[in-house]
C-alpha cells in the first residue's frame, strides 16, 4: 500500500493500474488502510466541530482578557498566574479534591464492601436489591438536589428533626448554610448518587470470578479478610479502575449539584472549578479567566485519569 | 494421614437430593476414586468432605474426628480443582506459599516447604512466573504443588485432569499416582472418566443419581459389577447389553436373544449365580466386547457358544479390530444402564442393537462378511430386567 502510492510514475492512468496490480500481488489482503479514514470521517467531522474546535477555542480564549462582548486583548499567561494567586479560585480546586473523597473514594469503598459481602453469601432477590441501590444513578440530578435540599433543610428538615427526636439536637444545624458542614453535606449527596454505580460494577465483576478461587482460598485457610484481599480485590482491579475513572471525573467536573444546592455558598465554602467557570464567564463576565480555569480543570482530569489507569495496568 | 468415612451422608439442594445416604470407608493412605456421570453426586460428596457444602444428613469423619461442622480450614485437607483455581495475581511461589501463610507457618519454614514441593513437581524454574504465563500442564502441577506443600491429612481432587489434552492427561495421571504413593496421603479423587478411575483408584466408588452403586477394586467392578449400570459404565468399549430369555437346554441353560442362542453352561459351573431361578424368564444379558473372539481364530469353541453374525462395520486400530454387528433387541428399560459417553436415551437405545466385538488384529472379518463369533460363557453377565441387579 505504501509503496504503491510512494512510487508514482508520470501518467496517472498507468499509476492507477500499476498500483492495483501491485496491491493484488504483494500487499496485505483486504482494502487499503487509508480507506479506513474515510469511514471514520463523518464521526470525526462531528467530533471536531463540536468537541475539538470549542476546546481549542477555549484554550485560545484563556490567553486573552475577554469579557465575551467587546474584542479581547492578548495577555499571555496572566490568567493562569492569577488562577494560582487567587485564593478563591485555588479554594475551588481544593474543594474539588475534597469532593473526590466523597464522590469517588467512599462510593468505591462502599461498593467493594457490598460486593464482597455478596460474594460470600447468596442473597435472595439480588436483582431487586441491585435495582433499588442503583436508583440514585437513574434519578435526574435536579431531583436529587431537590430531595437533599429538603432533607438538609434548616429548622424543620427531616435530618434535623431526626437528630432532635433522638436527643441530638445539639448537632442540628442548617447543613447547607454551615461554613464547615456545607461541603461534606454536598459530598454525601455525591456518595449517595455514585455508590450504586460502583456497586453494580463490582457485583458484575465478582460474578465473573470463578467460584473455585473462593473455594481454594477457603480450603487454604483464608478468612473473610484474606479471601477479600487474595481473591475479590485483585480480580476486581479492572472494575475498580473503571469506577474510579468515572467517579473522579464526575467529582471534578461537578457543577449541577453545587449550582442547585448551594450556589457555591455559604461564601465560597462549596465553590468548585466548574461552578467558578460558570460564575466567572456569565456572572462576572471574565470569559478569558473562566477559560483558563476550564482548561486547568481539564488537564487535571486528564492527568488523574491517566494515572489511575496506569496504576491499574501496571498491576495486571 | 487419616482414614475418611462417610456415614449416611446426604445433601439436598432445594428439593433435589444431590447425595443420598452415602456410606464409604476409605483407608489410611488409600487412593479412592468417585466416578459417575454428571449429576451422580460425586462432586457433592467431595465438597461435603472438604467442608465447602454443609451436610444435610449423616456424618463425615476424617481420622477419628467428626468434621460435619468444621470449616474447610480446620479439616486439614488440600484440594485440587478442575480449573486449577490458582490466584492469578500471585506468582507460583506465592500461590504455593499462600496456604502456609494463612496457617501462620513461620516464614523460614514456608520457604523450605515451598522449595521442597516445587522440587518434587519440577517447578523450580517457574517460581517467579504468574499462572497466565504457564501452560495447562504447568498450571496443573502448580495446583498439585499447592496441595502437596501443606502435607495435609487428605488430598481432594476434583476432576484435576479434565482440562488437559489426552497425552498430558496420561502423563499427569502417572505423576499423581507416583506422588500419592510417595507421600502416602489418603486421596479422594473425583472423575467422570472410567479409564482414569480404573487406572488410578485402588478402590473405585461408582455413583449414580446421588447414590453409591458399588465400591470395589477396579477388577472387582469389572468382574463382578453389582448391577447393569456399573457393568455398562465400566469397560471400554462399553458392554453389549440386550434383552433375552433364559431357557432350559438339556441339563443346563441357554440364553436366546434376537436371532441368537448361546449355552450358559451347567448351573454347577457357575456356583455364585442366582440365574437358575430366572429359567424361563426374561433377563438382561451383557457381553463384554473383549469376551468375543473371531471363531476362525478360536478353534475348539463348541457350536453352542458361537453366534453367526454379519459384520456391519470394521474398525482397525492396529492392536485390535472392532467389529460391529446386529446383536439383540435394545433394553426396554433404558434407565437401568447408561453409556459412559452420556449419549441420550434414544441414541443409546438404537446403538444397543448394534454389538461391538473386540477381535484379534489377525481377524480377517470384513464388512458384509458373515462370521462366527466365539463367546466365553464365563463372560456372560445376567441382570434382573426390572431392577438391573446382577443375577449371574
Are residues B66 and B201 located together in one domain of the fold? yes
Helix (H) or strand (E) holding A149: helix A141-151
Are residues B313 and B262 located together in one domain of the fold? yes
Mean per-residue pLDDT, A21-41? 71
Using a CB–CB cutoff of 8 Å, tell me whether B105 touches chain A: no
CATH number at residue B222: 3.40.50.300
In this predicted structure, what is the pLDDT of residue A54? 92
Percent of chain B at pLDDT > 70 equals: 92
Domain of residue B197: give its range: 4-232
Residues facing residue A305 across a β-bridge: none
Are residues B252 and B212 located together in one domain of the fold? no
B286 found inside a domain: yes
CATH number at residue B246: 2.40.50.140
- pTM of the predicted model as reported, rounded to 2 decimal places: 0.79
Instruction: Report the 10 Å Cβ neighbour count for A242.
Output: 19
In this predicted structure, what is the pLDDT of residue A315? 61
Q: Domain count of chain B?
A: 2
Grid cell of A23 as nine digits = 496491491
In this predicted structure, what is the pLDDT of residue B271? 57
pLDDT digits (tens, 9 = 90+) for B83-129: 999 999 999 999 999 999 998 889 889 999 999 999 988 899 999 99
B162 found inside a domain: yes
CB contacts, 8 Å: A216 with chain B: 79, 81, 85-87, 146
Contact A215 B79 (CB under 8 A): yes
Question: Residue B163's pLDDT band (boundaries 50, 70, 90)?
Answer: confident
Please say which residue of B212, B232, B252 terminates a domain.
B232
What is the torsion angle, in degrees rounded to the nearest 10, for the CA atoms of residue B286, residue B290, residue B295 and residue B298? Answer: -130
pLDDT digits (tens, 9 = 90+) for A217-234: 999 988 888 999 999 999
- The Cα B286–Cα B238 span in angstroms is 10
CB contacts, 8 Å: A222 with chain B: 73, 98, 102
Task: Mention every residue, 6+ apart, whose C-beta is less than 8 A from residue B261.
Answer: B247, B254, B255, B304, B307
pLDDT digits (tens, 9 = 90+) for A116-169: 887 667 667 777 877 888 888 888 889 999 999 889 988 788 888 888 888 887
B390 found inside a domain: no
In this predicted structure, what is the pLDDT of residue A6? 39
In this predicted structure, what is the pLDDT of residue B53? 92
Nearest to B98 among A212, A230, A315 (CB): A230
Nearest to B79 among A210, A216, A235 (CB): A216
In this predicted structure, what is the pLDDT of residue B347? 41
Are residues B190 and B287 located together in one domain of the fold? no
Are residues B201 and B302 located together in one domain of the fold? no
In this predicted structure, what is the pLDDT of residue A12? 44
Nearest to B22, CA basis, from B51, B50, B60: B60
Are residues B206 and B60 located together in one domain of the fold? yes
In this predicted structure, what is the pLDDT of residue A134? 85
- The Cα B142–Cα B160 span in angstroms is 12
Above 50 in pLDDT, residue B76?
A: yes
Are residues B132 and B111 located together in one domain of the fold? yes
Contact A215 B90 (CB under 8 A): no
B29 found inside a domain: yes
Average pLDDT, chain A: 84
Please say which residue of B191, B210, B232 terminates a domain.
B232
Please say which residue of B232, B265, B297 terminates a domain.
B232
Using a CB–CB cutoff of 8 Å, tell me whether B14 touches chain A: no
Sign of CA dihedral B215, B219, B221, B226: negative
How far is B184 from chain A, CA to nearest CA, in Å? 20
Are residues B141 and B201 located together in one domain of the fold? yes
Percent of chain A at pLDDT > 70 equals: 88
Grid cell of A61 as nine digits = 480564549
Mean pLDDT lowest among A89-98, B92-101, B146-155, B334-343: B334-343
Element counts in chain A: helices (H) and strands (E): 18, 2
Task: Mention every residue, 6+ apart, whose C-beta is less than 8 A from residue B343.
Answer: B351
Are residues B76 and B176 located together in one domain of the fold? yes
Contact A221 B99 (CB under 8 A): yes
Q: Which domains does chain A have, with CATH numbers?
A: 1-35 (no CATH), 80-146+186-315 (1.10.3720.10)
**Residue predicted with more confidence, A156 or A59:** A59
Amino acid at each position: 500500500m505504501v509503496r504503491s502510492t510512494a512510487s508514482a510514475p508520470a501518467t496517472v492512468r498507468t499509476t492507477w493500474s500499476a498500483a492495483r496490480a501491485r496491491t493484488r500481488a504483494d500487499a496485505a489482503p483486504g482494502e487499503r488502510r487509508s480507506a479506513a479514514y474515510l469511514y471514520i470521517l463523518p464521526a470525526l467531522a462531528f467530533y471536531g466541530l463540536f468537541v475539538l474546535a470549542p476546546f481549542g477555542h477555549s484554550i485560545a480564549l484563556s490567553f486573552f482578557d475577554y469579557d465575551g462582548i467587546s474584542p479581547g486583548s492578548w495577555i499571555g499567561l496572566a490568567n493562569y498566574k492569577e488562577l494560582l494567586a487567587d485564593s478563591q479560585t485555588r479554594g475551588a480546586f481544593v474543594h474539588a479534591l475534597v469532593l473526590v473523597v466523597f464522590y469517588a473514594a467512599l462510593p468505591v469503598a462502599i461498593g467493594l464492601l457490598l460486593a464482597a459481602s455478596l460474594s460470600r453469601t447468596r442473597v435472595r432477590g439480588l436483582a431487586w436489591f441491585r435495582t433499588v441501590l442503583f436508583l440514585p444513578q437513574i434519578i435526574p440530578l435536579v431531583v436529587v438536589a431537590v430531595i437533599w435540599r429538603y432533607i438538609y433543610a434548616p429548622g424543620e428538615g427531616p435530618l434535623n428533626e431526626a437528630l432532635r427526636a433522638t436527643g441530638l439536637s445539639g448537632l442540628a444545624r442548617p447543613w447547607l448554610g454551615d461554613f464547615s458542614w456545607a461541603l461534606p453535606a454536598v459530598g454525601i449527596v455525591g456518595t449517595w448518587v455514585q455508590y450504586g454505580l460502583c456497586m453494580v460494577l463490582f457485583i458484575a465483576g465478582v460474578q465473573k470470578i470463578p467460584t473455585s478461587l473462593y473455594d481454594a482460598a477457603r480450603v487454604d485457610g483464608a478468612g473473610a479478610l484474606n479471601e477479600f484481599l487474595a481473591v475479590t480485590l485483585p480480580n476486581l482491579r479492572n472494575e475498580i479502575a473503571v469506577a474510579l475513572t468515572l467517579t473522579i471525573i464526575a467529582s471534578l467536573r461537578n457543577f449541577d449539584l453545587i449550582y442547585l444546592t448551594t450556589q457555591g455558598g455559604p461564601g465560597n465554602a462549596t465553590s468548585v472549578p466548574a461552578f467558578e467557570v460558570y460564575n466567572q464567564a456569565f456572572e462576572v463576565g471574565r470569559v478569558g479567566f473562566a477559560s483558563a480555569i476550564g482548561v486547568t480543570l481539564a488537564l487535571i482530569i486528564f492527568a488523574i485519569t491517566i494515572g489511575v489507569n496506569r496504576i491499574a495496568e501496571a498491576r495486571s | 494421614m487419616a482414614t475418611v468415612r462417610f456415614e449416611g451422608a446426604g445433601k439436598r439442594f432445594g428439593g433435589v437430593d444431590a447425595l443420598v445416604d452415602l456410606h464409604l470407608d476409605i483407608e489410611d493412605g488409600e487412593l479412592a476414586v468417585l466416578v459417575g456421570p454428571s449429576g451422580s453426586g460425586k462432586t457433592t460428596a467431595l465438597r461435603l468432605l472438604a467442608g465447602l457444602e454443609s451436610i444435610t444428613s449423616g456424618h463425615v469423619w476424617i481420622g477419628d474426628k467428626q468434621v460435619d461442622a468444621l470449616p474447610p480450614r480446620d479439616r486439614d485437607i488440600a484440594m485440587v480443582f478442575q480449573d486449577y483455581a490458582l490466584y492469578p495475581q500471585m506468582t507460583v511461589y506465592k500461590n504455593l506459599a499462600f496456604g502456609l501463610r494463612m496457617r501462620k507457618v513461620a516464614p523460614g519454614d514456608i520457604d523450605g516447604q515451598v522449595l521442597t514441593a516445587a522440587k518434587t513437581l519440577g517447578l523450580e524454574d517457574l517460581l517467579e512466573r504468574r499462572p497466565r504465563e504457564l501452560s495447562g500442564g504447568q498450571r496443573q502441577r502448580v495446583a498439585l504443588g499447592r496441595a502437596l506443600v501443606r502435607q495435609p491429612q487428605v488430598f481432594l481432587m476434583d476432576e484435576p485432569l479434565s482440562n488437559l489434552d489426552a497425552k498430558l492427561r496420561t502423563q499427569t495421571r502417572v505423576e499423581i499416582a507416583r506422588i500419592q504413593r510417595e507421600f502416602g496421603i489418603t486421596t479422594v479423587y473425583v472423575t467422570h472418566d472410567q479409564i482414569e478411575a480404573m487406572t488410578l483408584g485402588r478402590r473405585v466408588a461408582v455413583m449414580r443419581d446421588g447414590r453409591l452403586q458399588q465400591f470395589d477394586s477396579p477388577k472387582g467392578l469389572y468382574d463382578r459389577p453389582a448391577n447393569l449400570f456399573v457393568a455398562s459404565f465400566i469397560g471400554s468399549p462399553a458392554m453389549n447389553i440386550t434383552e433375552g430369555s433364559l431357557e432350559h437346554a438339556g441339563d443346563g441353560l441357554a440364553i436366546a436373544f434376537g436371532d441368537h442362542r448361546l449355552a450358559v453352561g451347567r448351573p454347577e459351573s457357575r456356583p455364585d449365580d442366582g440365574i437358575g431361578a430366572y429359567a424361563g424368564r426374561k433377563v438382561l444379558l451383557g457381553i463384554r466386547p473383549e469376551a468375543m473372539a473371531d471363531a476362525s481364530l478360536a478353534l475348539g469353541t463348541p457350536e453352542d457358544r458361537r453366534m453367526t453374525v454379519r459384520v456391519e462395520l470394521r474398525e482397525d486400530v492396529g492392536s485390535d479390530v472392532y467389529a460391529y454387528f446386529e446383536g439383540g433387541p435394545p433394553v426396554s428399560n433404558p434407565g437401568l444402564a447408561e453409556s459412559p459417553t452420556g449419549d441420550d436415551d434414544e441414541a443409546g437405545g438404537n446403538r444397543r442393537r448394534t454389538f461391538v466385538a473386540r477381535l484379534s488384529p489377525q481377524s480377517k472379518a470384513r464388512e458384509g462378511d458373515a462370521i462366527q463369533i466365539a463367546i466365553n460363557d464365563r463372560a456372560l453377565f445376567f441382570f434382573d430386567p426390572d431392577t438391573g441387579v446382577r443375577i449371574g
